[in-house]
Amino acid sequence: MSSPVKEALESYVAGRLKAERLVIAVAAAYYGEQGAGSRQQLQPLIEVIDRASPGIVELGRVEATPGFELRLSERPFPKQYEADLRRAAEACLASERTTGVLDVAALRGPGLLTRAARAIRRLFSSA
């Protein structure tokens, strides 16, 4: 994990950094050109970010070269997902401290079926 991302995670867990700033730091490292090596380490954080605020990255057209440009869209991070983001950040830091490598399986949230079942239960319980 790159030191700017690690510093951002530590600052967020310590309460010195807002969730929006952490999201920007993690997304920039994940989607940036130098992010290829850290993608697997940051994947659990990106999953929480995508669940909370899908579409954090905007695709733009590049005139000079083929392809596209990635732009981070800055918007408020939903308060109801901050606990999940904090847990993922804490687990990421703890995993790196103890093993030197990020244990991706330990950071993953509930699977697709679990999330779908929860959504269905919420539909029927609110009716």
User: What are the mean pLDDT values of the chain's consecutive 10-residue runs (127 residues total)?
Assistant: 82 91 84 64 86 74 71 79 91 69 47 70 69
> In terms of Cα–Cα distance, which of 84, 18, 19, 17 is closest to 51?
84
Query: What gap in Å lies between CA 39 and CA 60, rounded to an integer?
Result: 21
Question: What pLDDT is stored for residue 11 in this prediction?
Answer: 92
The Cα-based distances of 31 to 46, 68, 84, 96, 117 in angstroms read 10, 12, 21, 21, 31
Question: What pLDDT is stored for residue 84 in this prediction?
Answer: 92
**Long-range contact pairs involving 10-16 (C-beta distance under 8 Å, separation at least 24):** 10/93, 12/85, 12/86, 12/89, 13/86, 13/89, 13/90, 13/93
Question: What pLDDT is stored for residue 104 in this prediction?
Answer: 42
pTM for this entry: 0.64
**Domain of 74, in residue numbers:** 3-125
Q: Is-contact 27 46, C-beta < 8 A? A: yes
Q: Is-contact 52 81, C-beta < 8 A? A: yes
Number of domains in the chain: 1
| HSE-CB for 126 with a 13 A CA cutoff | 6
CA-CA-CA-CA torsion for 37, 40, 46, 47, nearest 10 degrees? 160
